[in-house]
Amino acid sequence: MKKIVKTVLGISLGILLLLAVVIAVRTARFSSHQVPAERPTAVTGDMQAAASHLAQALTFPTISYDSKERISAEAFRNLHQFLETTYPRTHEVLTKETVNEYSLLYTWKGRDPQLKPILLMAHLDVVPVETGGAWHQPPFGGVIADGFIWGRGAWDDKSGVIGILEAVELLLQQGFQPRQTVYLAFGHDEEIGGLNGAAAIARLLAQRNVRLECVLDEGHLVSDGIMPGVKVPVAFIGVAEKGSLTLELRADSEGGHSSMPPRHTAIGILAAALARLDEHPMPGGLTNVTRSMFEVIGPEMPLTNKIVLANLWLFQPLLERQLAASPSTDAVLRTTTAPTMLEGSQKENVLPITAKAIVNFRIRPGDTIASVCAHVQKTVADDRIKIRTLDGTEPSPESPIDSRGFRQIERSIRQIFPTALVSPGLVVGATDSKHFAKISDGTYRFLPVVATAADLPRFHGTNERISVTNFGQVVRFYAQLLQNLDQ
């Protein structure tokens, strides 16, 4: 007996030791993927002037509303006019087309017409201002104060529009002509889905049989202090974005007076269905994008995280449990379920004839509208609930991370933000770039705006601003990227 115990103990100890060795070796071999931070070579111009151009662009209230009548045609036309007077060389050399009245498409002819073109994009519209009184500077005042350019659109996304145009104007000043044709696409309705703006531009290019080498749109930022366990800023390049699905769930009943309700009311039936959806989220897990993100970020993390990330063959379930614990990381793991609207009767003593709920899903790459609908049917499992699709977009395809486009975006980020780590990432929101997926070999989502955790509420919120220094980096990033892509 003693001998058997000894043998079992010996074998277990041996296995443990082997496991420890494998873990240690894998951790030791888990080395940095960061490309060296080369010296920037991009042209630089008058960054104070660039900042004042952005400030002026913020004075045009190009707000997107769901109801068309509220959109100010004047604001968009004035912004177009402003761009034309501020960037004379760009408007002389590039061809400008106006699409659906307010969107702009510029074509910068390349030296080599055989090469596939690239497309840089940003959007002209902004979200409304809900809290005008709480702003330190008026949201459409175009004020530069305390080293910041303040206003709605300062980072989302007029920093992109003005940053790109400043870079192009600077390069033109130097006599630069790109090797491959460069398109600049500025949609006017990104904040409400981009159907009349970016989607129309993409259709136009598709009709002309344009096949793009790569697309760069807004998306992730240079986030500073947001990634747990990483002390330096992280610049994620979004290589995929989630899709979206909005379903209406409806339960009907007889109605009547609330003093004599049936055993199960429309609201009760609907609430039970919602509770089941709440209890049973879509199954999640790492996908290609999230796995490559951890492979790139992992080596830069403290030892304990590094051990886990270098040994996903063993620790993946542990990592997934940890990620699922917080809403922001759970969102990269799975298709999320969010009931957002509820409707019953109009009066406290009237039973509703119809109870309705709106549920919004953000679909992770790997899932589809059909698979989410199937999950909902199976989970609700009640034929008294009528399910109707109101709106849906499939998740984007995953763009390659070994393409020339990705490599040059990565290289340019390291040149302009040498302390930042660069990693592929998943965008959990939606961008206009989705409209170009069909005509592009790679779609990337990154805006060179630096943000700390404290800045995040400014996004679509109050006191949106960008520092003058950071805006200089935005301009230099786009100039550097255009130069790098030329090689």
| CB closer to Zn ion, 156 vs 398 | 156
| CB closer to Zn ion, 220 vs 411 | 220
| CB closer to Zn ion, 408 vs 431 | 431
Catalytic: 278? Answer: no
Of the residues 157, 166, 169, 190, which is catalytic? Answer: 190
Q: How far is CA 218 from CA 132, 176, 221, 235, 293, in A?
A: 25, 24, 8, 12, 18
> Strand 243-252 and strand 354-363: pairing?
antiparallel
156 binds Zn ion (CB under 5 A): yes
Residue showing tokens 């965008």: 427
CB of 153 to Zn ion, least distance (A): 9
Q: At what angle do helices 2-29 and 303-310 cross, to 10 degrees?
A: 100
With beta carbons less than 8 A apart as the criterion, state whether 56 and 142 touch.
yes
| CB closer to Zn ion, 42 vs 162 | 162
CB of 241 to Zn ion, least distance (A): 12
The amino acid that residue 212 corresponds to is: L
Left (φ > 0), alpha (ψ -120 to 50) or beta: where does 460 sit? left
- CB proximity list for 235: less than 8 A, separation 6 or greater: 220, 221, 222, 223, 413, 417, 420, 421, 422, 423, 446, 448
| CB closer to Zn ion, 339 vs 429 | 429
CB of 156 to Zn ion, least distance (A): 4
- Give the whole-angstrom CA distance, residue 273 versus residue 120: 44
241 binds Zn ion (CB under 5 A): no
The alpha carbon dihedral of 263, 266, 268, 269 has a sign of: positive
| CB closer to Zn ion, 108 vs 155 | 155
CB of 212 to Zn ion, least distance (A): 20
Q: Which two tokens stand for residue 18?
A: 């082997």
455 binds Zn ion (CB under 5 A): no
CB of 54 to Zn ion, least distance (A): 15
- Candidates 88-96, 149-157, 247-255, 414-422: pick the segment binding Zn ion (CB under 5 A): 149-157
Q: Give the CA angle between residues 217, 223, 224 to the nearest 5°.
A: 160
Q: Which two tokens stand for residue 257?
A: 């007076």
118, 121, 157, 436: which one binds Zn ion (CB under 5 A): 157
Task: With H, G, I as helix, E, B as strand and everything else as coil, classify residue 186.
Answer: strand
- Using CB under 5 A as the binding criterion, the count of chain residues that bind Zn ion stands at 2
Of the residues 125, 157, 166, 432, which is catalytic? Answer: 125
CB of 466 to Zn ion, least distance (A): 13
Q: Could you give phi then psi for residue 339, rounded to 5 degrees?
A: -70, 130
Q: Which two tokens stand for residue 1?
A: 């007996």
- Candidates 39-47, 148-156, 257-265, 323-331: pick the segment binding Zn ion (CB under 5 A): 148-156
| CB closer to Zn ion, 156 vs 169 | 156
- Give the whole-angstrom CA distance, residue 168 versus residue 89: 9
Catalytic: 190? Answer: yes
- CB proximity list for 456: less than 8 A, separation 6 or greater: 226
Chain positions 41 to 100 lying near Zn ion, rule: CB under 5 A, are: none
**Site residues (CB under 5 A) for Zn ion?**
156-157
User: Catalytic residue positions?
Assistant: 125, 190
